[in-house]
Amino acid sequence: MEARNFLRFLFLSLSVVLLIIFTWFNFPHAPQSATELLDCATTSPWCTSSKNRIFHPKPQPKPTRRRTNSHALDVPRHPLDPLTVSEISRVKAILSSHALFKSPGPHSLHSVELEEPEKSRVLEWKRGDLLPPRKASVVARVRGASHVLTVDLATSEVIVHRIGPHSGYPTMTVEDMTTATVAPLASVEFNRTIVDRGVDLTDLACLPISTGWFGGAEEGRRLIKVQCYSMKDTVNFYMRPIEGLTVIVDLDTKQVVEISDKGRSIPIPKAANTDYRFSTMEPNRVMDMLNPISIEQPKGPTFTVEDDHLVKWANWEFHLKPDARAGVIISQARVRDPDTREFRDVMYKGLASELFVPYMDPTDAWYFKTYMDAGEYGFGLQAMPLDPLNDCPRNAYYMDGVFAAADGTPYVQSNMVCVFESYAGDIAWRHAESPITGMEVREVRPKVTLVVRMAASVANYDYIVDWEFQTDGLIRIKVGLSGILMVKGTQYDNTNQVPNQENLYGTLLSENVIGVIHDHYITFYLDMDVDGSYNSFAKVHIQREKTSPGESPRRSYLKATRNVAKTEKEAQIKLKLYDPSEFHVFNPSKKTQIGNPVGYKVVPGGTAASLLDLDDPPQRRGAFTNNQIWVTPYNRSEQWAGGLFVYQSHGEDTLAVWSERDRPIENKDIVLWYTLGFHHVPCQEDFPIMPTVSSSFDLKPVNFFESNPILRIPPNVAKDLPVCKSSASA
């Protein structure tokens, strides 16, 4: 070895060691015993947790580094409670003595979660009853094959064991992702091209990008594409892509399979003006435009969280739990009837089932970017601790997630979900008599809601998912998009150099930075149980009706026609502004006193539809976005719209495939699916970090109540409102 090569080797080795050390110290390690459980707060100074189960209305100092709730003593109290720390440890122990895991060779657990009891068992369970047997559903990779196992925690036995499908792999483990990002460094070729581009290996930040499936190349082995960035002089390395360089890594062996190196002439965009951290702002450039503002509740919040998971607020109650794949799961949402004072079922289970985020650039380093964030990355695994006072207001309650590392060891994701009451100054209902009648009537009621929030950071992008409950029975599901764009390097630093801007596949955002056009689809699973499990789905079609000659001075009016869907295909719905319908899930066995079917309707807001070719491989895998609404019969195995094994799947196990079976859905236990979409043509305002864009849809009672359920809520009066002073003067 020449001296020069030896120096190179030494330098690279040192870099690799440094990177491994860096990763080691930043990765949330699995602790060795339940009493020594770590959560992110142990390693992160910016991390906090909700030590107290019920919100403390007094102002608290900004939480500092401290050991937070280990959850070591948690016990399940509800059939739907997630696996506890000790249960996950038991699962690990049971599996370790199972034949599959005893034999040598690599193995890892990709999912360890509660196998929920049969719905009927859950529905008949009452507080105080014994819990149904606790079981864990486990997805494992063992020696290159996927396995699905059910572990019975009562008998300590593996009671179900089946081999995974031929296509599709489980959700990546966090270990998969982090090891993939350092795998390229084992390649001399890779390291050389990095150095040749003028980037220090120590400045390298790499991302694991799911490959999707486009044919033979993505079959037979678990692959990931790694792309890298320079984090020199900025924490926002996403704005400094090393363009055109793609490393294909085998996720099981961690070996580099192939390197595609095409963008050497493209400069790495500069770091200037990319950092977004407040600590890096020059004090004289801080825009402190607003006086402090806060939502205050002098008598404390109205909601309670019983047994760690049962949220009770105003006329609502529901079970809430973090989930590694969906982020959060809302179960058994029930609303109190103002007349009977009894709770009535609305939704058995609601969750973000899958995401589909196709980028609109067909070139080598970009075509495969068609993320399915829940099934590939774990939407909940990426939901980092929320920032008190900023992610959620002061009156928020925080809930931790408990997940399993790849070796089965439990770990705590603290402050992963927050719950708070919101008041924006809005109006729940009002009426004032006008000068026309001159009557002295003015009645107004303020609108207060309960928000359940999580924010998943799937690498660059941040998704804020809110479940907002209103006292009038409405549930609003809102998705906010923020975080950082996935951008493309370019030689251009001004649009006047671009021959045809349409061929940029996006917008020039800054010198040498293109924001690539992309879509976001979030498909929600909504197992509606409107006053019971057996429901039907009706389209209330709103159509122009022409009057007969002489019938009326009017030539036309709109008529609503109710069509009950008999089978799944009748409930595959594309929204149409000029051929509108309302979409009702109703209970065919229950009517209001005056005879209307008791129901909830799904009310779309602003949205977007996927326009990709239906035969394009990404769209086949994301075929659950082919319609905005679907209705399927309840089926335990149909919860993940892109299939259980989404990674590199061919799209043979999606909602679209299930729905094609055209099963009966009338007067059945049915599941409603709604897809919320966004087209995102980036603009300069999105650089270097995006102002939140959000959209929502509603689940709204429609003849569910006999009358306005909040007729009798009181108005605000001054004497109830708080007396506040600034804390500086306190």
Q: Which of residues 48 and 69 has its CB atom nearest to its own copies in the complex?
A: 48
Please report whether residue 340 would count as binding its own copies according to CB under 8 A. no
How many chain residues touch its own copies (CB under 8 A)?
A: 218
Using CB under 8 A, which of the segments 66-74, 126-134, 348-356, 444-452 binds its own copies? 444-452
Interacting positions 586-625 with its own copies (CB under 8 A): 591-592, 594-596, 603-609, 611-613, 615-619
Please report whether residue 300 would count as binding its own copies according to CB under 8 A. yes
Using CB under 8 A, which of the segments 72-80, 81-89, 163-171, 286-294 binds its own copies? 286-294
Using CB under 8 A, which of the segments 130-138, 244-252, 560-568, 649-657 binds its own copies? 560-568
Answer for which of 4, 285, 549, 636 binds its own copies (CB under 8 A) is: 285
With beta carbons less than 8 A apart as the criterion, state whether 295 and 344 touch: no
> Which residues pair with residue 398 across a beta bridge?
418
With beta carbons less than 8 A apart as the criterion, state whether 701 and 473 touch: yes
CB atoms within 10 A of CB 644: 21
Interacting positions 131-190 with its own copies (CB under 8 A): 174, 177-178, 181
Interacting positions 182-241 with its own copies (CB under 8 A): 205, 207-208, 214-215, 235
Written in H, E and C, the secondary structure of 158-202 is EEEEEECCCCCECCCCHHHHHHHHHHHHHCHHHHHHHHHCCCCHH
Q: Are strands 556-564 and 534-546 parallel, antiparallel or unpaired?
A: antiparallel
Instruction: Report, as residue numbers or ranges, the catalytic residues.
Output: 373, 461
Written in H, E and C, the secondary structure of 632-697 is EECCCCCCCCCCCCCECCCCCCCHHHHHHCCCECCCEEEEEEEEEEEEECCCHHHCCCEEEEEEEE
Query: How far is Cα 526 from Cα 508, in angstroms, rounded to an integer?
Result: 39
Answer for which of 8, 34, 44, 250 binds its own copies (CB under 8 A) is: 44
Interacting positions 530-559 with its own copies (CB under 8 A): 540, 542-544, 546-547, 551-559
Answer for which of 39, 462, 638, 666 binds its own copies (CB under 8 A) is: 462
Interacting positions 243-282 with its own copies (CB under 8 A): 273, 276-278, 281
Q: Which of residues 151 and 177 has its CB atom nearest to its own copies in the complex?
A: 177
With beta carbons less than 8 A apart as the criterion, state whether 119 and 533 touch: yes
Dihedral (Cα; 432, 474, 565, 634), 10-degree rounding: -170
* The residue type at 304: T
Q: Which of residues 1 and 577 has its CB atom nearest to its own copies in the complex?
A: 577
Please report whether residue 438 would count as binding its own copies according to CB under 8 A. yes
Contact residues for 214 (Cβ-Cβ < 8 A; gap 6+): 367, 368, 617
Shortest Cβ 281–its own copies spacing (Å): 5
Answer for which of 496, 499, 549, 637 binds its own copies (CB under 8 A) is: 496
Answer for which of 425, 499, 549, 550 binds its own copies (CB under 8 A) is: 425
Please report whether residue 407 would count as binding its own copies according to CB under 8 A. no
Please report whether residue 302 would count as binding its own copies according to CB under 8 A. yes
Please report whether residue 82 would count as binding its own copies according to CB under 8 A. no
Using CB under 8 A, which of the segments 143-151, 344-352, 490-498, 651-659 binds its own copies? 490-498
**DSSP string of 309-364?**
TEEEETTEEEEEEEETTTEEEEEEEEEE-TTT--EEEEEEEEEEEEEEEEBS--ST
Q: Which residue has the tokens 């005893």?
A: 102
Shortest Cβ 154–its own copies spacing (Å): 32
Interacting positions 355-394 with its own copies (CB under 8 A): 358-363, 367-368, 377, 381-382, 384-385, 387, 389-394
188-196 helix and 3-26 helix, angle to the nearest 10 degrees: 100
With beta carbons less than 8 A apart as the criterion, state whether 385 and 414 touch: yes
Answer for which of 112, 268, 665, 713 binds its own copies (CB under 8 A) is: 713
Please report whether residue 580 would count as binding its own copies according to CB under 8 A. yes
Query: How far is Cα 565 from Cα 665, in angstroms, rounded to an integer?
Result: 7
The three-class DSSP label of residue 498 is coil
Closest CA relative to residue 481, chosen from 525, 520, 424 = 520
Q: Which of residues 99 and 723 has its CB atom nearest to its own copies in the complex?
A: 723
Compute φ and ψ for 328, nearest 5 degrees: -130, 155
Please report whether residue 396 would count as binding its own copies according to CB under 8 A. yes
Query: How far is Cα 473 from Cα 343, in angstroms, rounded to an integer?
Result: 12
Q: Which of residues 572 and 639 has its CB atom nearest to its own copies in the complex?
A: 572
Interacting positions 504-533 with its own copies (CB under 8 A): 505, 507-511, 517, 519
Interacting positions 645-664 with its own copies (CB under 8 A): none
Answer for which of 342, 494, 549, 637 binds its own copies (CB under 8 A) is: 494
Answer for which of 436, 499, 636, 637 binds its own copies (CB under 8 A) is: 436
Q: Which of residues 221 and 447 has its CB atom nearest to its own copies in the complex?
A: 447
Please report whether residue 68 would count as binding its own copies according to CB under 8 A. no
Q: Which of residues 72 and 295 has its CB atom nearest to its own copies in the complex?
A: 295
Q: Which of residues 90 and 601 has its CB atom nearest to its own copies in the complex?
A: 601
Q: Which of residues 80 and 324 has its CB atom nearest to its own copies in the complex?
A: 324
Query: How far is Cα 646 from Cα 643, in angstroms, rounded to an integer?
Result: 6
Shortest Cβ 538–its own copies spacing (Å): 12
Query: Which tokens sit at 416?
Result: 């992963």
Interacting positions 672-711 with its own copies (CB under 8 A): 679, 681, 683-692, 695, 701-711
Query: How far is Cα 101 from Cα 149, in angstroms, rounded to an integer?
Result: 12
Query: How far is Cα 334 from Cα 318, in angstroms, rounded to an integer?
Result: 6
Shortest Cβ 139–its own copies spacing (Å): 18
Q: Which of residues 298 and 664 has its CB atom nearest to its own copies in the complex?
A: 298
> Which residues pair with residue 328 across a beta bridge?
322
**Angle at alpha carbon of residue 6, lines to 2 and 10, rounded to 5°:** 175
Shortest Cβ 554–its own copies spacing (Å): 4
Binding mask 304-333 for its own copies (x = CB under 8 A): ----------xx------------------
Query: How far is Cα 127 from Cα 393, in angstroms, rounded to an integer?
Result: 31
